[in-house]
Amino acid sequence: MSKILNQGTLSKTKVSLLSTAIAVAIGGFGAAANAAGPTLSDADFEKSKTIYFQHCAGCHGTLRKGATGKSLEPKGNPAKNQKGTLELGQERLEKIIKFGTEGGMNNFSEILTDAEIKAMATYIQMEPPIPPEMSLAQMKANTKVYVDPKDYPTKPLHGRNWKNFFVVIERDVGKVAVVDGDKKEIIAHIPTGYAVHVIKALEHSNAAHPENPDDVGRFWYTQGRDGKMTKIDLWQTPDKMLVAETKVAYDARDVAVSGDGKYIIGGGYWPPHFVIVDAKTMDPLKVVSTRGVNIDGEYVNESRVAAIYDTPNEKSWLVALKELGQMWQVDYTDLDNLRIDKMDTAKFLHDGFFDPTGRYFQIAANASNKMVVVDTKERKKEALIDVDKLPHPGPGANWMDPKCGPVGGTTHLGVGKVTVWGNDPAGHKDAAWKVCYEVETDGPGLFIRTHPKSKYFWADQTKHPEPGVQQAVQVIDKETRQIVKTITVTNVPGQAAVHMEFNADGTEVWVSAWNMKDSKKDNGEIVVYDANTLEEKTRIKGFFAPTGKFNVTNRSEHVT
């Protein structure tokens, strides 16, 4: 079903509270609509609908037509030789949900109860509910300002080194924690949207500059799975860091800030569109549909927005259209006459990162087993790199290899491997956009991370089904290309090690110990390691299911 970062269970109370909102988000038909086939009680139908939204829609789609995961349509797709869920049947579906598959779907035996698994197997044999659209007027009605921009402070009010703050996703409680990276203290738990997927800041840009350069790294914007977008001001006192919010979709993933600091862009999974928002007031300004014809010449109704990034050297955003297999470069200098350059690439686009120059964007096309490279200067596809099963670099990593020169790398969801390729066409033409080498790891993972001052890069193994592997990360020497240490981050049942992030000066690596099974308690922690000796330094406790974490300096200055 979902990738591991979309896992985690909610308390029964939280599921109940979410059900009404998710029912609106994913629509319409009740159990009675399928009376001729498999049926569920109204209560089980609504609960299964909520579970599908939380765990399955990310990979299989709101309409169940498939993407990174297979189609879950009841009648299948004979033209693509895809069996329907009705043909697979109740017993087979229950086994798949419970035990997972070798194709990369994780098991849900420790996440869902047997009764929930049984109901889910029935639910996906029924016709999917049709979700509603969302208008600009609805978005504006959901916009709230908690601190007027004219009242923003002109200097930090807390006396801390905010440029070494970490903002940490507390996934299933719908919060972001702000952590003092110097003192290793949690400063605030800020309410956001449910299951925040990405947090982005105003970044340093070579193409466009904000009115106040001090704003770089100061304001952070979250995008929740429920479509809620929030604005956080790190200069405020903890009780006032949440300054505004809006809602741009029912299901969403990514957000980015224009280089001049004027606009935010948020991308929807459903409805399939992107929305341009005023960065100061969080007032939605423009909605652009992403439905269209994919690279195979087929019309796609559910064309979801995956990654969105500001382009460091151009006044534009990159918008990845997962199902279309297209990268759109959206110029933000004239919203009334919006210029969009559409580049055919590969399916199904997910997440990526820029090369060190900021010119080339490297993004995973999961189901195609490729890394896509686009040239933001020429606004065209630069290259397709064949890699292994289901690449997933997250925010990625660049470093210098002794033979290939500048390189980038990715982990994979479907195999225990790191693939490394050259990414310097100007200085190392022969190695550019070709696989340089591969490193076999103990298990499939989600993230790879490094720092220019570190001699290592780190890879997690969160997708491996065995706890002993899932709870460890591996450290690889950039020069020798060898795994130098496997670090067991946690041995707490139900916890996994996920997502690495360096501190501002590159001397520490922070890793999340994420409790996937019971995220309602403050039982997660972040483990801090010395980036040189690889020894544990401390553990920061008091988190609710910490997953991704983002250092202010590294993210705002494009440090990978």
What residues act catalytically? 56, 59-60, 105, 350, 392
331: amino acid identity, one letter:
D
d(CA 375, CA 358): 10
E strands present in 391-455 = 391-401, 405-412, 417-422, 435-440, 448-450
The three-state secondary structure class of 153 is: coil
| Residues 343/349/352/356 CA torsion (nearest 10 deg) | -30
d(CA 518, CA 77): 37
Answer whether the bond into residue 271 is a cis peptide, omega within 30°.
Answer: yes
d(CA 10, CA 208): 42
d(CA 495, CA 465): 12
Burial degree of 214 (CB within 10 A; 0-12, 13-18, 19+): exposed
Q: Tell me phi and psi for residue 134, to 5 degrees.
A: -140, 125
Do the Cβ atoms of 410 and 423 come closer than 8 Å?
Answer: no
| H/E stretch holding 351 | strand 349-354
